[in-house]
Amino acid sequence: SERGQKPDRYKPYTDRLKDAYLNRPAEENFEHAARQSYIAFAFAMMMAAELGVDSTPMEGFDNDALDDLLNLHELRLRSVTMLPLGYRDAESDWLVDLKKVRHPKKEFLIEIK
């Protein structure tokens, strides 16, 4: 190996993963992976913001049509969400100069002590 490690160094770990995932229904594994994908998705949005690129998460699209368009079925993959990237058109954005309106935290947060 490139690092000089034994080929089976991670076997106990990969065996545990296989025991956990291969014995569950495929749909359960998909749902788990879909939720995990949002971790990377959030980092992509943060990195886009860092680079000055606007982004917004999208769901509610025709997943099957997108999967067909991108041939995801052939790769045994399914779409979960999309991340449009681009630059805002501040000159045409009628909201850009309006005051920001925020709901009070008590309307959407629960403090647990």
- The helix/strand/coil state of 82 is strand
User: DSSP characters for 100-113?
Assistant: P----GGGT-----
Could you tell me if 37 and 80 are in contact, meaning their C-beta atoms sit under 8 angstroms apart? yes
Query: For residue 1, is pLDDT > 80?
Result: no
Angle formed at CA 78 by CA 68 and CA 81, multiple of 5 degrees? 100
Q: Which residues of 58-84 are buried (b: 16+ CB within 10 A; e: fewer)?
A: eeeeeeeeebeeeeeeeeeeebeeeee
What predicted TM-score, i.e. pTM, was given to this entire model?
0.67
Three-state SS sequence of 2-23 = CCCCCCCCCHHHHHHHHHHHCC
What is the mean pLDDT of the segment spanning 83-112? 91
Query: For residue 2, is pLDDT > 90?
Result: no
Residues 9-30: tens digit of each pLDDT: 899 999 999 999 999 999 999 9
**Domain definitions of the chain by residue range:** 11-107
Report the chain's mean pLDDT, rounded to a whole number.
93
pLDDT band at 110 (very low <50, low <70, confident <90, very high): very high
Greatest extent of the chain over all pairs of C-alpha atoms, in Å: 61
Residues 33-85: tens digit of each pLDDT: 999 999 999 999 999 999 999 999 999 999 999 999 999 999 999 999 999 99
pLDDT of residue 52: 95
**CATH 3.40.109.10 for domain 11-107:** yes
